[in-house]
Amino acid sequence: MHFFLILLLHFLIHITSWGESAGAISVSLQMLANGGNTEGLFRAAFMESGAPVPVGDITHGQKYYDSIVANTGCSSATDTLACLRTVPYASLKAAINKTPGIFSFQVIGHHLFTKFIAPN
C-alpha cells in the first residue's frame, strides 16, 4: 500500500498537460498566463498542432464582449455574464458570429492588425 501511495504522489507531482489543435492553443496560453507561473497545476506540456495566438492584452477584447452583450439584449442586466448564460443558443451564436474570428487577426512585426474580410 505504501508503494502505491508513493507512486500516486509521484504522478501528482509530475503532471504534464497536453492539447491538440485548439487544445494546444489553450495549453500554451495556460503556460504563458500569470507570468508563466502555472501555480503547480502542471510541470510540463505537450502541444500538437497549435501555439499561442498573439491577441495582445486581454482588455483589448472588451469591445467584443460588449458587442455580444448588446447583440443578445443583455446590456441592461446588472450581471451581463449571468444574462448571457440564459440567452438561447441561436441568439448567442448569431451575436458571436458578428465578432471577428481567430483568422481575422494578423501579426506584422510587433503590431497587431485586424483584417476584416467582407462576407461573400
Mind listing the pLDDT tens digit for each residue in 56-74? 777 888 999 999 999 999 9
Range of the domain at 33: 2-48
Please indicate, yes or no, if residue 119 is contained in any of the structural domains: no
Confirm if 53 and 22 have CB atoms less than 8 A apart: no
Of 95, 60, 94, 103, the residue nearest 117 (C-alpha) = 103
pLDDT in tens, 96-105: 999 887 666 5
The pLDDT-based confidence of 53 (bands split at 50, 70, 90) is confident
Annotated catalytic, 91?
no
Q: Are residues 6 and 37 in the same domain?
A: yes
80 and 35 together in one domain: no
Are 36 and 63 part of one and the same domain?
Answer: no
Catalytic residue among 17, 21, 75, 76: 21
- The least confident of 10-14, 17-21, 112-116 is 112-116
Strand partners, 16: 44
Note whether residue 76 is domain-resident. yes
pTM summary value: 0.51
Task: Give burial (CB, 10 Å; 0-12/13-18/19+) of 105.
Answer: middle
Number of domain units in the chain: 2
CB-side neighbour CA atoms (13 Å) of 13: 6
**108 shares a domain with 65:** yes
